[in-house]
Chains A and B, each alone.
Chain A
Amino acid sequence: MIKKILNNWKYVLKFDTEHRTDKGIITDIMHTAWQTTPSKNSFMPYRVHVIGPEEEGLKKAVYETSAAKEKNSNSRNPNPDQWEVNGNKASLLSAEYILVFTPRAEDEPSPWQIHLHEGGCYMDAWYEDKLHKYRATILVEVGLFAQAVSTLCLEQGLHTNYISSFESDLKYWEGLDFIKHPPCLIMGIGKGKHFRRDWLKKIGWDEGDHKPKFDSVVHFYGVEK
Chain B
Amino acid sequence: MNNYRYVLEYDSSAFVDPQYIDDALEYAWKVTPSKQNFMPYKVHVLSPEAQDHKQILYNKALTQQASKSGVKIKTKKSLEKYNDSLTKDHRQPFFRNLKSAPYVFIFAQRVEDQPNIFQQQSIKDGQTYCQLELKDPEHDICKDIARIEIGMFSANLASHLLSNNIDVSFTECFPGELHTWTEKEFNFLKDDVLFIMTAGKGKIYRRDLKGQEGDLKPNFERIVNKEV
Tell me if B155 and A148 are in contact (CB < 8 A): yes
Tell me if B47 and A111 are in contact (CB < 8 A): no
Q: Which of A120, A151, A165, A211 has the most CB of B within 10 A?
A: A211
Q: Which of B27, B144, B147, B155 has the most CB of A within 10 A?
A: B155
Chain B 25-42 interface mask (CB, 8 Å, partner A; 1/0): 111011111110111011
A141 to B152, CA, bound (A): 9
Report how many A-B pairs have Cβ atoms within 8 Å.
221
Tell me if B148 and A143 are in contact (CB < 8 A): yes
Tell me if A50 and B226 are in contact (CB < 8 A): yes
How close is A106's CB to chain B, nearest CB, in angstroms? Answer: 7
For chain A, the bracket of interface size reads 35 or more
A90 to B79, CA, bound (A): 54
For chain B, the bracket of interface size reads 35 or more
Identify which of B53, B144, B223 contacts A184 (C-beta below 8 A).
B144
Q: Which of B42, B126, B163, B224 has the most CB of A within 10 A?
A: B224
A19 sits at the interface (CB 8 A): no
How close is A137's CB to chain B, nearest CB, in angstroms? Answer: 5
Question: Which residues of the partner chain B approach A52 to less than 8 Å between Cβ atoms?
Answer: 226, 228
A17 sits at the interface (CB 8 A): no
How close is A202's CB to chain B, nearest CB, in angstroms? Answer: 14
B10 sits at the interface (CB 8 A): no
A31 to B226, CA, bound (A): 11
Which residue numbers of A lie inside 8 Å of B, CB to CB? Answer: 2-3, 6-7, 9, 11, 27, 30-31, 34-44, 46-52, 55, 58, 77, 104, 106, 108, 110-113, 115, 119-122, 135-137, 139-148, 150-151, 162, 164-165, 176, 178, 184-185, 200, 205, 207-212, 214, 216-223
Q: Which 10 A-B pairs have the closest CB atoms?
A: A143-B151, A111-B214, A209-B118, A112-B215, A139-B147, A208-B117, A6-B31, A147-B155, A36-B1, A222-B47
A120-B69 contact in complex given A219-B45, A221-B188, C-beta closer than 8 Å: yes
Closest to B69 in A: A120
A210 to B37, CA, bound (A): 6
Tell me if B33 and A136 are in contact (CB < 8 A): no
Question: Which residues of the partner chain B approach A31 to less than 8 Å between Cβ atoms?
Answer: 220, 224
Identify which of A40, A58, A110, A223 contacts B18 (C-beta below 8 A).
A223
Tell me if A137 and B27 are in contact (CB < 8 A): no
Tell me if A137 and B172 are in contact (CB < 8 A): yes
Closest to B3 in A: A36
Question: Which residues of the partner chain A approach B114 to less than 8 Å between Cβ atoms?
Answer: 212, 216
A7 to B69, CA, bound (A): 44
A112 to B216, CA, bound (A): 8
B150 sits at the interface (CB 8 A): yes
A162 to B41, CA, bound (A): 18
A9-B31 contact in complex given A108-B222, A136-B194, C-beta closer than 8 Å: yes
Closest to B28 in A: A218
Closest to A10 in B: B33
Q: Which of B110, B119, B215, B223 has the most CB of A within 10 A?
A: B223
Identify which of B42, B70, B110, B156 contacts A6 (C-beta below 8 A).
B156
Tell me if B43 and A34 are in contact (CB < 8 A): no
Tell me if B27 and A38 are in contact (CB < 8 A): no
Taking CB atoms and an 8 Å cut-off, the chain B residues in 19-69 that contact chain A are 25-27, 29-35, 37-39, 41-47, 49-50, 53, 68-69
How close is A111's CB to chain B, nearest CB, in angstroms? Answer: 3
Tell me if B151 and A112 are in contact (CB < 8 A): no
